[in-house]
Each structure stands twice: as C-alpha cells, then as structure tokens.
Amino acid sequence: MAGLYFHIPFCKRICSYCDFFRVAELSYLPSVVEAMHCELEEQREFLHDKRIETIYFGGGTPSLLSPKELQRLIDHASELFDCREVGEITVEANPDDVSDEWAEQLAKTQINRVSLGVQSFDDGELKFMNRRHSAQDAAEAVRRVQRAGISNITIDLIFGVDGYGDAVLENSIAQALELGVQHISAYHLTIEPNTAFGRRRERGLMREVDEEQSEKEFRLMHERLTAAGYEHYEVSNFALPTYRAKHNSSYWHGVEYLGIGAGAHSYNGEMRHYSEQSVVEYIKSREYVEEQLSDIDHFNEYVMTSLRCAEGISLDYLKERFGEPSADRVLRLAQGWIESEDLRFDAGRLFIPAERFMISDAVIESLFEV
C-alpha cells in the first residue's frame, strides 16, 4: 500500500501567512507539468511495485490545472504503477478557481474528493490574510462541487488570528456546518518569519494570540464540531463517520509515498528524498536531497505521528519494532502525563484525549529519544 502526491507549486497571489514552497510566476506552469510527467517515469521504481491506494494533488494551487490535465497525470501514473485499487483521489482547490464548468469537468474525472482552502467565512479576516476569495465565493465553491456530484468535501479553516476572536471563528464553524462538508482541517495560525505576517510582527503591527485565547479557540473548535458529529481524529482534523482523510492518514501511519513535483517529499520505508530546486531547475532535470532514517528517527516519527492521532501509540508495536526497553521507557516517561490526565493508557494504547490535543507538542517532545 502506498500513496502518490503531486505538488503544483503555483499561486496567483501569496497569502500573508504562507511559507510553503510556491511561486507566483504562472508562465512556468505548463513546463512544470510536463516535467512532472518525466519525473513519474524516472521514479517508477521508487515504491518497489507497491499498490497505490490514494492520490493527492496539493500545492500551491492545483486548481490552476484543468480537470483534464489532472486526469492526464492520473492516467500516466496508472500506466506506471499499480493503481487498480486507488480509493481516494483528492484535489486541493482555491474557492475562486471553482466555476460551475470546472466542477462539472472535475466530476467526470477519477477525482472523488475536493479540499477547499476556505480558511475563514469572514470577509475582513480573508482580506487580512490576503486570500483571493470572499466568504460568499467560498460558500458558492462548496455548493458548486456538491451540485456537480462530488460528495466528499473537506475545507481548511485557520484560527488563532489576532484581532479576529471567538465570534468570527464561531461564525466560520457555523457556516461550515450549514454547508454540510464531510471533513474540516483546522490550523492554528503560526507567524513564520519569512512571510508578510512575519514582517508585520517585526514592525510591531501584529502579534500572536496569547495562550489563553489559543486554548479557548481550540476548545471552541473541538466542542462545536464534535457536538455536530465530527470525530476529532487528529490534532488538526475532524471528520464525519467514514470520511477520515485516507491520504493524509497514511502519512501519519508510516505508509510509503511518492511525491512528484518541485519541492515534493517522498518516503519509501528506508529513506526520504525531496527536491529543493527552483521550478526553473526542476524543468531541466530532477535532483534530490536524500535522508537515510536511523532507528531513532523512525522511533521519534512514530511517537510524533501516533500521538497526534486519536489512536495513539500501540505498546505492542513499540515492543515489536523498537524492543521492550523502548516501550518500558515510554511508559515510564508517560506516568506524569497520565497522572495529569493529558495522556490515557487503555487497552495497550497510550493516547492523548482529543480535548487535550492542544498540548500534544509538549507531550510528544518529552517522549522523544535523542
């Protein structure tokens, strides 16, 4: 079992909080897509014939590609990899790229899940984040995808934005619920240095929300969505029953994946590689930075990804994969967190209760091996 990820690193406008690898020079897009077809051929051995079960188009902005171009990448992948059992194919879309025509064409492809970068249903907050769409555009994009017949929709929301408190967040959650989306990813804003927000912070024009407000907004998100029937199954992810994100879940469960595109990461169980190139270099040839993973890397990654998910750490797996002393060490270090009820130990699993996910970083770091 494996996943395939296509990275489309282009954006028409750069959001104020974004430090992802992306470029605003759209004229390179057609050549980059052709280079991605070449990379598919070049990397056909990377997954050692593993069956592909999920495909994901992320970015950047994959909705800058026509549905036909997206399907052409899927068709090419199907010639090179075993894609007979692909269940979930997701495309990220910017709400203002989703016209009726784009949505109808998309419904004719194999893509069966759409991830919309809504971020907020408040026009002031959207403008502050330099998003391209309005709240109404976002709602209309969801409806267009639904009308076209795609019934697995996820949206992204951002919370913890200074100056836009509980009432704005409450409204965004209410609108998301009213639209009946199946999945919501909710991220706390982090102000990265090399972004417009980072520069505003340096000039004293912006600050992070304080811890108390962060927790309040996190709790609001958790309470509203779980009360509406969404399962809080990962720190930043909520799903209606049966609608967990399969592709992203596979990252959290150590499943192998091949990333295609400038800046995309890949992992085949032994090593990770990624291209750090500019799109201009990527068009000419593909070069990778390789990372061999040590046992400590594998251990820390397992602890981190597992504790971010509702299922948590399996003590049996820890014993089997890393040895009994490792499992004993984790259990010993976990005692303090268990006493403070930030961790629970039940049926051989050590997990953070979803309402405490907010402090997961501190718990995870305390269990790392160095």
Contacts of 26 (CB under 8 A, 6+ apart): 10, 12, 64
Token pair recorded at residue 1 = 């079992």
- In the complex, the smallest distance separating the C-beta of residue 177 from ligand SF4, rounded to whole angstroms, is 23
Token pair belonging to 173? 């959650």
Contact mark string toward ligand SF4, 57..76, x via CB under 6 A:
--xxx---------------
Q: Between 264 and 318, name the residue whose CB sits nearer to ligand SF4.
A: 264
Judged by CB under 6 A, the stretch of 11-19, 172-180, 281-289, 343-351 that binds ligand SF4 is 11-19
Q: Which is nearer to ligand SF4, 61 or 248 (CB)?
A: 61
Complex with ligand SF4: residue 7 or 113, whichever CB lies closer: 7
Task: Output the smallest distance, CB 192 to ligand SF4, in A.
Answer: 11
Burial (0-12, 13-18, 19+ Cβ within 10 Å), 359? middle
For the CB of residue 264, give the shortest distance to ligand SF4 in the complex, in Å. 13
Please report where in the chains the tokens 């989306």 appear, as a residue: 181
Binding footprint of ligand SF4, residue count (CB under 6 A): 11
- Binding of residue 261 to ligand SF4 (CB under 6 A): no
At its nearest, how many Å lie between ligand SF4 and the CB of residue 83? 26
Minimum distance, C-beta of residue 64 to ligand SF4, in the bound complex (Å): 10
Nearest approach, Cβ of residue 328 and ligand SF4 (Å): 43
The window from 12-20, 64-72, 256-264, 299-307 that contacts ligand SF4 (CB under 6 A) reads 12-20
Asked if 22 interacts with ligand SF4 (CB under 6 A), we say yes
CB of 59 to ligand SF4, least distance (A): 5
120 binds ligand SF4 (CB under 6 A): no
Ranges within 138-167 binding ligand SF4 (CB under 6 A): none
Q: Pick one of 2, 4, 15, 364: the residue that binds ligand SF4 (CB under 6 A).
A: 15
The residue within the footprint of ligand SF4, chosen from 18, 150, 179, 313 (CB under 6 A), is 18
Query: Between 264 and 364, whose beta carbon lies closer to ligand SF4?
Result: 264
**What mask, x for binding ligand SF4 by CB under 6 A, covers residues 23 to 62?**
------------------------------------xxx-
**Nearest CA to 186 among 135, 221, 139, 227?**
221
Pick the closer one to ligand SF4 by CB: 198 or 269.
198
Residues 6+ apart with CB under 8 A from 74: 55, 83, 89, 109, 110, 111
Tokens of 30: 């057609």
Query: Contact residues for ligand SF4 (CB under 6 A)?
Result: 11, 14-15, 18, 20, 22, 59-61, 94, 117
